[in-house]
Structure 1
Amino acid sequence: MKAFRHVSAIAPLLMSLAALAIVLGYLALSGPVRQPDEGAAAHLFQLLIVGQLPFVAYFAFRWMPKAPARGLGVLGLQVLAASVAILPVALFQL
Structure 2
Amino acid sequence: MSDDAVSPEEVRHVAELARVDLEDDEVDQFARQFADILEYFETLDEVPEVDREADLANVMRPDEERDSLDTEEALRNAPETEDGYFKGPNVS
Q: TM-score, length-normalised on structure 1?
A: 0.27
Q: TM-score, length-normalised on structure 2?
A: 0.28
More helix by share: 1
Structure with higher Rg: it is: 2
More strand by share: 2
